[in-house]
Structures are given as structure tokens and as C-alpha cells.
Amino acid sequence: MSRPPPPVSTLIMRGLFDENPVFRLALSLCPAVAVTTSVKNGLMLGVAVFVVQVLSSVSASALKNVIISKIRIPVFIIIIAIWVTVMDMTLAAYFPEVYEEVGLYVKLIVAFAIIISRMELFSMKNPVVPSFWDGFGMGVGFLVAMILTGAFRELVGSGAIFGIEVVEFKPLLLIVLPAGGFFTIGLIMALFNWVDLKRGKKLPGDYKGCHG
């Protein structure tokens, strides 16, 4: 309500890099680590989160004037739950082949911190169109993070990519296990920081952050 919303390019870049949900905000790590054992799994969850993020951001922004601010958090969760359930039911009914693949992941999304945090931080303060782009950027940022993590873990952990065998052995099985997921995300975070250093930015170390 105070500042005018930033331009679309900033919104998308923010989700992709500057405030990437996984590598910068370290949000939704548990489900992300559980699922990114292969590129395909990462991609499926990424797409599902992307759709729910965009729909939820837009809904929160459209309803921001009628939501009683004291109960906005439960209302956000209900909005997310509605979209997740609608998506679950629609996929199961009309796209059974897709549902067989993603059904396991869709239900996880209700508990994703990144979605609710974008609704609280952005959609409640901005009109519908910028909220759409903010959700779009964050969703794509999450999708890219899932693909990167999944690709690394599948390649190093199972010696394959998209289920196609690259080497005949499993180079480092640890990477596929949950602990390996955290190692992978840590390594990619380090890469992000290195790129930032090269771009002449300060490292994100002095934040009085409050991310959970």
C-alpha cells in the first residue's frame, strides 16, 4: 500500500535469484529434500508448487480488502488448501496418467512455507497483477531450485539423469538419502553466494532474518 510495486522483471529475478525460496530464503526445505531424489520428481513437485503459488497469490491479493487481518494466516492456509484439493481432485478425475505420477506430491503443498510467506509479504500489500508476477517469479524460482537439486542428486547419487543411466554404478548413494539433500542444497547455496561475490554484492550474512 505504501510503495508502488516493482516492475515485472524485478519480481521474476527476485524469485529466481535474489530471493530464491530454497537457496536464499531456505524455506520449504523438508519437502524439497524429501522429493528431489531425481530430476523428474523435482520437476513434478516444482510444477505443482508453481501452480498453487500463482493461484494462491492472486486469490489473496483479490481478497485482501475483505480478509480480517487478525485471522489472515488461517485464511491463507484455507485458500492454499482449497487450491491444492481442487488441483488434486481435477488431476485425479481428468488426467489420471499425470495423477499417478504427481499424486504423491500434490498433497504436500499445503504445508509449504514459501506460499504463505509470499501471500503475507506481497499479495496483502499489492494489487492482483503484480501479485500474479510475484507468485510467478517465486514459483519459477522454486521450480528451478527443484530441478537443479534433483539433477545433481540423481546424477551423483544414482548415476542417471531423467531415469536414463549415465554411468553403470552409483557414484555416491549418500546424496540420494535425506542427508545428501541438505548437502546438495548447501553446495548450491554456496554457488549462489559465489556468484553474488563476483557481481560485487555483499554476502547475505548480516541479516537480522526471521526465516523459519
Q: Which residues bind other proteins (CB under 8 A)?
A: 18-19, 24, 34-35, 37-38, 41, 68, 70-71, 74-75, 78, 81-82, 85-86, 89-90, 92-94, 96, 104-105, 170, 173, 176-177, 204, 207-210
Beta strands 160-161; 164-165: pairing state: antiparallel
Q: Considering just the CA atoms, what is the radius of gyration of the chain in Å?
A: 18
Q: How far apart are CA 144 and CA 47, in angstroms?
A: 10
Residue 86 to residues 30, 80, 113, 183: CA-CA distances in angstroms? 24, 10, 19, 35
**Closest residue by Cα to residue 76 from 87, 93, 63:** 63
Number of neighbouring beta carbons within 10 Å of residue 192: 17
Shortest approach of other proteins to residue 205 CB, angstroms? 12
Shortest approach of other proteins to residue 67 CB, angstroms? 8
Rank residues 100 and 191 by Cβ distance to other proteins and give the closer one. 100
Rank residues 54 and 146 by Cβ distance to other proteins and give the closer one. 146
Rank residues 78 and 129 by Cβ distance to other proteins and give the closer one. 78
Rank residues 78 and 166 by Cβ distance to other proteins and give the closer one. 78
Rank residues 122 and 136 by Cβ distance to other proteins and give the closer one. 122
Q: Is 66 exposed, middle or buried (0-12, 13-18, 19+ CB in 10 A)?
A: exposed
The residue type of 84 is V
Shortest approach of other proteins to residue 35 CB, angstroms? 6
Shortest approach of other proteins to residue 171 CB, angstroms? 13
Cell of 97: 496418467
Shortest approach of other proteins to residue 19 CB, angstroms? 6
